[in-house]
């Protein structure tokens, strides 16, 4: 069985240790997993046949783990018979925050008050009073999330904005605190609470702290409703907390990392993920 692990070149450099770990775990389970850089891949149609080339050579694999936001790549791979983790539906839905919120609202999962805009569409009047949060729709890691406190900051933000974004109310949401739930297929692996006393964003990469979190029955039911609706591979389902301590959906990380989980536990999440991939390929 052979598969591809697909990253952009820049992300492959930042995540070298994770990539080495992934390939090593695959080898232990008799899987040949090869790193492919997205920049080296060409997808398209030639002579009425879908093809995928890398460095000018037509290639094929049993499966692909796509660790970059590229729903079109996921979709074509699937149409060519390659099993993709995560699949195109997950990639298209949850790598755009507005699509993710719409999907969760349809399931009855609480979401923050949010308004969606194309990057070149500037609202003539603001739907929210200051302060509010501006988020790039395809942003990850908290780096494209900004608190807008006044008109001057809003003017500066909208002049610099070139991609889809959303405006979100911070009312009734605890700042600097969120929850990441690691999921493989239909199984909750663990939950990690992330906190930051110095920033309204709780991301560990932005200086937050992390601790294991025990889910209560109500929280498990909420998460299970999401899990039951989608065919996940490995994802991180992120929630914020309301002022009264209830979960409110934030986003689903398609190419989720596991640094905090590895730091806090001895869970080998990639061993479990590879095992799931083997099972999935065996029954396709």
- Give CATH for domain 114-168: 3.30.1490
pLDDT in tens, the chain (284 residues): 999 999 999 999 999 999 999 999 999 999 999 999 999 999 999 999 999 999 889 999 999 999 999 999 999 999 999 999 999 999 999 999 999 999 999 999 999 999 999 987 888 899 999 999 999 999 987 778 999 999 999 999 988 888 999 999 999 999 999 999 999 999 999 999 999 876 676 665 556 789 999 999 999 999 999 999 999 999 999 999 999 999 999 999 999 999 999 999 999 999 999 999 999 999 87
| Spatial distance between the Cα atoms of 214 and 231, rounded to a whole number of angstroms | 24
Residue pair 250/168 in contact by the 8 Å Cβ criterion: no
pTM for the structure as a whole:
0.94
Residue 123: its pLDDT value, please?
85
Task: Please state which architecture CATH assigns to domain 2-85.
Answer: 3-Layer(aba) Sandwich (3.40)
CATH of 172-266, one of 3.10.20.30, 2.60.40.10, 3.30.470.20, 3.40.50.720: 3.30.470.20
The string of pLDDT tens digits covering residues 260-274 is 999 999 999 999 999
Residue 242: its pLDDT value, please?
97
Residue 10: its pLDDT value, please?
97
Q: Are strands 165-168 and 132-136 parallel, antiparallel or unpaired?
A: antiparallel
Sketch the domain layout of the chain as residue ranges: 2-85, 114-168, 172-266
Residue pair 201/145 in contact by the 8 Å Cβ criterion: yes
Give the sheet arrangement for strand 63-66, strand by strand.
Answer: 32-37, 2-7, 63-66, 83-85
Residue 196: its pLDDT value, please?
87
| Spatial distance between the Cα atoms of 280 and 21, rounded to a whole number of angstroms | 21
DSSP letters, 162-218, are -S-EEEE--TTEEEEEEEEEEEETTEEEEEEEEE-TT-S---GGGT-EEEE----HH
Residue pair 249/178 in contact by the 8 Å Cβ criterion: no
Residue 201: its pLDDT value, please?
64
């Amino acid at each position: 069985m052979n598969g591809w692990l697909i990253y952009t070149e820049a992300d492959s450099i930042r995540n070298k240790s994770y990539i080495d770990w992934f390939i090593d775990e695959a080898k232990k389970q008799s899987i040949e997993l090869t790193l492919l850089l997205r920049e080296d891949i060409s997808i398209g149609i030639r002579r009425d046949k879908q093809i995928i080339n890398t460095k000018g050579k037509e290639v094929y694999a049993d499966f692909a783990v796509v660790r970059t936001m590229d729903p079109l790549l996921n979709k074509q791979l699937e149409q060519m018979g390659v099993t993709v983790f995560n699949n195109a539906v997950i990639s298209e839905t949850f790598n755009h925050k507005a699509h993710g919120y719409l999907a969760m609202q349809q399931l009855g999962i609480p979401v923050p008050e949010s308004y969606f805009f194309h990057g070149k569409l500037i609202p003539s009047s603001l739907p929210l009073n200051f302060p509010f949060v501006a988020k790039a729709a395809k942003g990850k890691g908290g780096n494209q999330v900004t608190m807008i406190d006044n008109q001057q900051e809003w003017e500066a933000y909208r002049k610099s904005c070139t991609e889809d974004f959303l405006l979100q109310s911070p009312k009734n949401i605890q700042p600097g605190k969120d929850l990441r739930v690691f999921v493989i297929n239909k199984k909750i692996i663990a939950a990690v609470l992330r906190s930051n006393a110095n920033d309204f964003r709780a991301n560990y990469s932005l200086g937050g702290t992390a601790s294991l979190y025990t889910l209560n029955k109500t929280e498990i039911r909420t998460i299970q409703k999401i899990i039951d609706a989608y065919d996940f591979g490995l994802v991180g389902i992120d929630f914020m907390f309301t002022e009264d301590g209830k979960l409110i959906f934030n986003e689903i990380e398609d190419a989720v990392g596991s640094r905090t989980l590895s730091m806090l536990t001895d869970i080998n999440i990639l061993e479990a993920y590879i095992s799931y991939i083997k099972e999935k390929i065996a029954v396709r």
